[in-house]
Amino acid sequence: MRISTTTVQDLAALRNQKGISLHQIAATTKIGVRYLEAIEDGQFASLPGGIYSISYIRQYAQAVEINEGELLQRYLQSASVS
């Protein structure tokens, strides 16, 4: 699934639409719920940084079956603005 620029705010809705809970993603990926919530909220600065952030974003995207490249690009754009 493609992600539009506004979809970052709708990640939780997309996830809920697929019937996937944050706790299910956390159990599968071993990523803390607070980090998954930060991804959904677009609060990338709350992620641990570096390769961990990239890995968390990719794993989240795979878990909810969305384009990880587009979500990762949003993260990288956010990081370059900070």
The pLDDT value given to residue 9: 61
Residue with structure tokens 């159990």?
27
What are the pLDDT digits (tens) for 23-73?
Answer: 999 999 999 999 999 999 889 899 998 899 999 999 999 999 998 998 898
Q: Write out the E strands in the chain.
A: none
Q: Is 6 helix (H, G, I), strand (E, B) or coil?
A: coil
At 8, the pLDDT band (50, 70, 90 cuts) reads low
Can you tell me the distance from the alpha carbon of 19 to that of 52, in angstroms, rounded to the nearest whole number? 26
Domains of the chain: 7-81 (1.10.260.40)
pTM of structure: 0.85
